[in-house]
Amino acid sequence: MNVLLFDGSPKTIKSTSSLLLRTLEKKFLEKGAAVSFGNGRNHCVQDNTKAVQVSDSMIIALPLYVDGLPSHLLACLENMEEQLRQSAQKATVYGLVNCGFFEGHQADGALNILRLWCEKSGLTWGGGIGLGAGGMLSSVPLDNGPGKKIGKALDELVENGMKQKPIENTFVEPNFPRILYLYAAHLGWWRQGKKNGLGRKDLYKKLV
Amino acid sequence: MNKTLWIHDLTKENAASFFDTLSAEDKVIDGNDVKKHCIGCFGCWTRTPGCCVITDCWENIPKSVAGAEKVVIVSRLVYGSYSPTVKRVLDRAIGYILPFFRIVNNEMHHQMRYDKPFELTVHFYGESILDREKDIALKLVRANGVNMGTGEPEVFFHRSFNEIKEALI
């Protein structure tokens, strides 16, 4: 079983998408899969297309950007479409969309965009997961506590990914009060601003 | 304050035939000229609030959005989404809103940086648009409208740029 873990984040380091893929990597390796990585920042269409063509399952992990896919990932996928469409494809593709909003279902649109790409590229859509509260996913273990539901969703993805079986789109958030996530997020933004020499009021700056 | 901000992915030829009749108050962003995509650094929220940190003369896209009464997007429809070209502009516009959250209709969304909302209109085009692509696109634009604090956006679908021209002239 060849699994391609495809990073759709524009960040080169420390992205939630890459963290989730590393978690999936461990789970797939434990199941005996051969795992390879790709990313949407790679401009080489040949590399990306070939990686998809040799895979049985592909998981695309990405952050929700302006309610959709990041532009560089959209470009990458569109660039691959024609080459993929020209021959029969064996890969089943799953989406894993994390969003900063608390509600995982806000990723539904992004999953639908990925599904359409699969249809137009001759790939099989396997379903996906929309993860809410993306801002805290790097801070919680994903196998117990607040992250337990997310860990379970990832396990189901791996279980089905190993058999190229489809999953129902699943939307999940950490088991954590939404209001506390909101306060924690705001505190996080204030802290980041402070590191950059900005006070709280500075973050609200209007330019017009 | 610009009257209308146009964001498009048209060829230079098509753009020239359409935008040369615009008012001096209007502004046009050709997505093909915006070469660099958002890098996800959140600098437009925590380093240079309201302004993109990438200094390639497109760092003020958020300010351009803020200065508009209307934003009109003309985009190829790609998998139910904006084209990568137009999306590149929109991704670099997130400095228009704040990083902080608010609850709207029992959902978490971004707070507004500016008090005055703009009207959003989107013209998608493509030779053969599937009904389910339209559904995805409608939901996407509505979600954008909520996050950018616009009223109910208007969304139109056309088979070609010429149809858009006929509709708008």
pLDDT above 70 for B8: yes
Q: Mean per-residue pLDDT for B2-21?
A: 89
* B1 has pLDDT over 70: no
CA distance linking residue B69 with residue B23, whole number of Å: 14
DSSP string, chain B: -EEEEEEE---HHHHHHHHTTS-TT-EEEEGGG--PPP-S--HHHHTSTTS-S--SS-TTHHHHHHTEEEEEEEEE-BTTB--HHHHHHHHTTGGGEEEEEEEETTEEEEEES-SS--EEEEEEE-SS--HHHHHHHHHHHHHHHHHHT-SSPEEEEESSHHHHHHHH-
Tell me which residue has tokens 């978490």: B108
Note whether B99 contacts A178, CB cutoff 8 Å.
no
Would you place residue B165 in the very low, low, confident or very high pLDDT band (cuts 50, 70, 90)? Answer: confident
The pLDDT tens digits along chain A (208 residues) read 999 999 999 998 889 999 999 999 999 999 999 999 999 998 889 899 999 999 999 999 999 999 999 999 999 999 999 999 998 888 999 999 999 999 999 999 999 999 999 999 999 999 999 999 999 998 888 888 899 999 999 999 999 999 999 999 999 999 999 999 999 999 999 999 999 999 999 999 999 9
Average pLDDT over residues B142-160: 95
Residue ranges of A 24-53 with Cβ closer than 8 A to chain B: none
Distance from the Cα of B100 to chain A's closest Cα (Å) equals: 6
* Closest by Cα among A50, A53, A52, A60 to A24: A60
According to DSSP, residue A22 is labeled H
Q: Are the C-beta atoms of residues B120 and B141 closer than 8 Å to each other?
A: yes
Q: How far is CA A174 from the centre of its chain?
A: 16
CB distance B158 to B124 below 8 Å: yes
As a whole number of angstroms, the distance between CA A134 and CA A176 comes to: 12
Of B49, B79, B101, the CB nearest to A117: B79
Place of tokens 């009904």: B131
CB B101 within 8 A of CB B108: yes
- Which residue has tokens 């209308």? B4
Q: A81 to chain B nearest CA, in Å?
A: 11
Kindly list the residues from chain A whose CB atom is less than 8 angstroms away from the CB atom of residue B108. Answer: 101-103, 106, 178, 182
pLDDT on residue B2? 66
Whether the CB-CB separation of B66 and B156 falls below 8 Å is answered with no
Are B141 and B155 spatial neighbours (Cβ–Cβ below 8 Å)? yes
ipTM metric: 0.95
Contact residues, chain A, for B42 at CB < 8 Å: 192
pTM of the model: 0.96
| Burial classification of residue B86, based on how many CB atoms lie within 10 Å of its CB (0-12 exposed, 13-18 middle, 19 or more buried) | buried
Asked whether residue B67 carries a pLDDT value surpassing 70, the answer given is yes
Contact with chain B for residue A69, Cβ under 8 A = yes
A8: tokens are 């759709």
What CA–CA distance (Å, rounded) separates B87 from A72?
Answer: 9
Judged by CB atoms closer than 8 Å, whether chains meet at A65 and B91 is answered as yes
- Which residues in chain A belong to E strands, given as ranges? 2-7, 34-39, 57-63, 92-98, 124-131, 170-172
3-state secondary structure of B21: coil
